[in-house]
Amino acid sequence: NNSTKALEYVDQAVKLNPNEQLAYMNRSDIYGQLNSYDNAAQDLILATTVGKTATTPISKLVEMSDYHFDPVMNALQRSIDAAPRSGMLYYMRASIAMRHFRYGQAIKCYKTIIANQLYEDEGIYYNAALCQFNLQQYGDALANVNKALELKGDNPDSYVLKARIVRYMDDGKKIDEAL
């Protein structure tokens, strides 16, 4: 089988240079061809930790989640278990969960990032608020969107989300606050 032989060669490339992002991405492609999606996802996660930019492997991981959600999420969880202080891993897992409308999973990751101060960025609070809004947790959503606005007060999306939250709080009784 050509894929099996190719896997042997790319394994050798990884052993010779474990800091080569392209080797992990190529090995991920081969694992995908072999229907070994857990390994494919794990290599994309590894590729985010080496090289100059994590954009391409993250994009490929997100794309893979559209067809192989569980293996991607399992690989991310294994990576989190191995590096529990890596905010980026939680963020990737939360972003993928949100993409698939799994707001409960996403908010759990965002809460971990916030509670453990793994990453301080308005986007974390905005996304947490968006998840909580979709879960009808309006009080928590309002607190998080306010924190997002505190960190970056010039984001129009945060103001729109705040208006939506306030509109739905108390069955619309706070409409004046939304305006």
Number of Cβ within 10 Å of residue 172's Cβ equals: 10
The pLDDT of residue 177 is 55
CA max distance for the chain: 67
For the chain, how big is the Rg over CA atoms in Å?
19
Give this prediction's pTM. Answer: 0.88
The pLDDT of residue 124 is 97
Helix segments in 17-121, DSSP class H = 21-33, 37-49, 55-65, 69-82, 87-99, 103-115
Distances from the Cα of 85 to the Cαs of 75, 81, 116, in angstroms? 16, 9, 8
Span 133-163, pLDDT tens digits: 999 999 999 999 999 999 999 999 999 999 9
The pLDDT of residue 119 is 87
Span 12-30, pLDDT tens digits: 999 999 999 999 999 999 9
